[in-house]
Amino acid sequence: MSTALSEQELLRRESLNQLRELGINPYPADEYKVTAFAQDIADNFGRFPDNYKKVTLAGRIMIRRIMGNASFAELQDSSGRIQIYLKRDDICPGEDKTLYNTVFKKLMDIGDYIGVKGFVFLTQTGEISVHVQELVLLSKALKPLPIVRRDEEGNIHDAFTDPEMRYRQRYVDLTVNPEFKQIFVNRSKVISSMRDYFNKQGWFEVETPILQPVHGGAAARPFVTHHNTLDMPLYLRIANELYLKRLIVAGFDGVYEFGKMFRNEGMDRTHNPEFSAMEIYIAYKDYIWMMAMVEQCLEIVARAVHGIPVVQVGANEINFAGPYEKLSMYDSIQKYTGVDVSTMDEAALRRTCSELGIEVDDTMGKGKLIDEIFSAKVEANLIQPTYITDYPIEMTPLAKKHRTKDGLVERFELFINGKEIANAYSELNDPIDQRERLEEQLVLAGRGDHEAMAMDEDFLRALEYGMPPTSGLGIGIDRLVMLMTNQVTIQEVLFFPQMRPEKKAKVGTADDFINIGVPAEWVPVLNKMGFNSVEELKSANPNKVFNDLGGMRKKLKLDLVMPVKEIVMAWFE
């Protein structure tokens, strides 16, 4: 798909042609050996000026200030920006001043990648700058970047903030708003510090199927696809829990996986259809042990990102150092509503919900009703890390029955800043109990709960061979990253959040025009004249098009060979 080109895009394409005519390859293949970075120079030039007498940098031109035979520009590399100083007679020591007068001043643009060699110095106004002695073009940019300007006080003018454009064109966002890169650097630290911690404990990183014949391990609607060779439906995983447990059956003591999960549900600022989760299963442990492990792990993560365990999230200071508060689900409901739901049956729970003003429907079982009360009345109050423990058995088909409390399971969820971050069980390893619990899910599914779990016979078979007592944990990585980077929306912590497809511009491709005989270099001109598809062109008057082509050539000062009339007429046949 191509779109009609703007004036600036046409000019940049014309500059591209002129560069080639000057014998300059706008997209050279050679390695460019970089020896210095903007941030390092800014940090260390003052102390070690001798180290910067010969530097090579590469990056994009972001600002130009041309003053006759000398110019300043700002070069942006992966680490930051640095000012460069170009003097005509320094980069063009001989008679030929083309490199400065034409290439730099006329044919290069904001956004182009260049390489510079030179020495670092201090300008009269005291700005650390690179005095350029050699300048090369590394890659020509054909689309103009949005211009974001910063003044002396650091105020940002003309900020590029439209969320739609930032998410759809993340490459533009991170180029002109490089401060957002830090979120993704911190995201990487969250994941790598967790992985380091697990590996140090001797746990084993694994990969399990994303395409699953049965979608198990969680309650959610899946994406369905189809495998042609097997001629069967496959589901994108909503969880990997049942596969990781199979690996515990197989004899690994500790297995973990970072991976994408896919849920065909709503999208909002905390939900993306694909999201990242970490699940870990450790043999011979229980959920009490797991709480201590999570405390240790999250403190390490917070320190990896911030250096300290205390993280500012919105108006709250969250302390990730353990131990965290522990509250049973029933106690938490009692604490925040004053109602004791521990002995209620389904009918009593329904009455309680209506008294509390909570909407329910007929498909909801006892477990779901309790969860509704919890979600509505308790969750938002849990700011500091808090373990909610001992859930009703009905809402947790994969957790072991509580060792002492009837009707409950050994489960905790970790809430931080009012959001669920982690979920853990003493895993159910009694195959007969597991079968009954999954059968109860089928009953719920029959009542219309489309999130009830499916039966997985192979998983049950694995349990029948024997799974050691095991504790398992899942952590929502995106939400953890949101906490660690103080972001309110999941889109800000995903490079490429899901968006509706862009509206298709109703224009033909350049190839469509070329196929009817239009020279490639004239296609943008036709677009400029308003012909965005071959059909539009063919419905025009051929003689007028021929005349207008000449007019456009003159108007845009295009250095193109005018096609002869017969060729233009042939476009209309």
Subset of residues 199 to 218 that bind RNA, contact rule: CB under 7 A: 218
- How far is the C-alpha of 356 from the C-alpha of 377, rounded, in Å? 9
Provide the token pair at 51.
Answer: 């180290």
Residue nearer to RNA on the CB measure, 87 or 405:
87
Residue nearer to RNA on the CB measure, 530 or 550:
530
Provide the token pair at 71.
Answer: 């110019």
Provide the token pair at 375.
Answer: 């979600």
Helix (H) or strand (E) run with residue 476 in it: strand 470-476
Interacting span for RNA (CB under 7 A) from 4-12, 42-50, 229-237, 288-296: 4-12
Determine how many CB atoms are found less than 10 A away from the CB of residue 371.
18
* Cβ at position 308, least distance to RNA in Å: 29
- How far is the C-alpha of 415 from the C-alpha of 388, rounded, in Å? 7
Q: Does 539 bind RNA (CB under 7 A)?
A: no
Q: Pick from 53, 150, 351, 461: which binds RNA (CB under 7 A)?
A: 150
Residues 162-201 that bind RNA (CB under 7 A): 162-165, 167
Q: Pick from 6, 17, 296, 319: which binds RNA (CB under 7 A)?
A: 6
Q: Pick from 85, 100, 113, 387: which binds RNA (CB under 7 A)?
A: 85
Q: Does 451 bind RNA (CB under 7 A)?
A: yes
Exposed/middle/buried for residue 250 (C-beta within 10 Å: 0-12, 13-18, 19+): exposed
**Could you give the string, one character per residue 13-52, with x where binding to RNA holds by CB under 7 A and - elsewhere?**
----------------------------------------
Check: CB of residue 178 under 8 Å from CB of residue 484: no
Phi, psi of 70 (to 5 degrees): -140, 150
* Cβ at position 204, least distance to RNA in Å: 24
* Cβ at position 87, least distance to RNA in Å: 5
Provide the token pair at 345.
Answer: 């049956």
Residue nearer to RNA on the CB measure, 371 or 390:
371
- Total interface residues for RNA by CB under 7 A: 79
Q: Pick from 302, 395, 408, 482: which binds RNA (CB under 7 A)?
A: 395
Residue nearer to RNA on the CB measure, 322 or 472:
472
Q: Does 489 bind RNA (CB under 7 A)?
A: yes
Q: What secondary structure letter does DSSP report for 503?
A: P
Residues 216-275 that bind RNA (CB under 7 A): 218-220, 263, 265-266, 268-271
Q: Does 129 bind RNA (CB under 7 A)?
A: yes
Q: Does 151 bind RNA (CB under 7 A)?
A: yes
Residues 402-431 that bind RNA (CB under 7 A): 413, 420, 423
Check: CB of residue 36 under 8 Å from CB of residue 57: yes
Check: CB of residue 474 under 8 Å from CB of residue 278: yes
Check: CB of residue 484 under 8 Å from CB of residue 247: no
Q: Pick from 42, 79, 121, 177: which binds RNA (CB under 7 A)?
A: 121
Q: Pick from 54, 89, 381, 519: which binds RNA (CB under 7 A)?
A: 89
Least Cα distance to 476 among 121, 218, 162 occurs for 218
Q: Residue written as tokens 């200071």? A: 317
**What is the identity of the amino acid at 299?**
E
* Cβ at position 392, least distance to RNA in Å: 11
Q: Does 312 bind RNA (CB under 7 A)?
A: no
DSSP secondary structure, 249-281, as one string: HTT-SEEEEEEEEE--S--BTTB-SEEEEEEEE
Residue nearer to RNA on the CB measure, 33 or 157:
157
- How far is the C-alpha of 212 from the C-alpha of 208, rounded, in Å? 10
Provide the token pair at 255.
Answer: 């297995």
